[in-house]
Amino acid sequence: MADSPDLLLLSRWLTPVPGFLVPLVGAGARIGYVPTASSIYPDQTWLDLDRATLEAQGFEVLDVDPELVSTATFTRALGEIDAIFVAGGNVFHLLGALRQTGADRPLVHAVRHGLPYIGASAGAAVTGPDIAPLHLLDDPSEAAPLESTAGLGLIDVTIIPHAEGTVGGRERIDRTLAQYPDHPLQLLRDDEALVFSGGRRRIIPG
């Protein structure tokens, strides 16, 4: 088991990915791309941009969507890739889909046992202890059925992406802070990234 999971959590831009991933798994790594958070939206342009960016960075990108394959197939895929990338969209739908399909458990197990995790926006927010504070940024009513807002628990803070207000305006960020003063929130701007590695946490340019 890894001493601690390796996670790169992004608000928007993928610039930090090579600097994070290449030292861990080498150049040309196979990245499993999870588009699930956006499956409820007809426009998925940003997913195409993600994939193109990762490929331009020299990585091989393979879609791994738990909504389209069995839990066994998803679990097997986790053993055949060098890193996992969980894309943005609606964090409530993402968590609901992971729970409904049973993909949450093998995903957490793989990351805790050394599979590097890269999450963007919703993919970053789902890693924390509770996604409830995200309800002003994402609409829970659009989501797959969700009995609990408890997140994947890979980290001890809830990421609030787009903290400068690029999605929905700064007023929603301020309301989130006011409504959840007792939650461990980590604001993350689009030009920032949060790295968890070696038991340490640090913010780097995004």
Annotation marks residue 121 as catalytic:
yes
Alpha-carbon distances, residue 94 vs 20, 48, 137 (angstroms): 24, 18, 14
Alpha-carbon distances, residue 39 vs 49, 76, 103, 156, 161 (angstroms): 15, 22, 16, 27, 19
Of 26, 74, 32, residue with least CA distance to 51: 32
Instruction: Say if CB 142 and CB 90 are below 8 A apart.
Output: yes
160: which residues sit within 8 A by CB, 6+ positions away?
A: 125, 133, 134, 137, 173, 176, 185, 186, 187, 188
Interatomic CA distance for residues 95 and 67, integer angstroms? 12
Annotation marks residue 93 as catalytic:
no
Which of 11, 38, 93, 162 is labelled catalytic? 162
CA dihedral 112→154→99→68, nearest 10 degrees, is: -60
Strand partners, 158: 185
Local structure of 196: helix, strand or coil: strand
Which of 11, 121, 148, 197 is labelled catalytic? 121
Name the residues annotated as catalytic: 121, 162
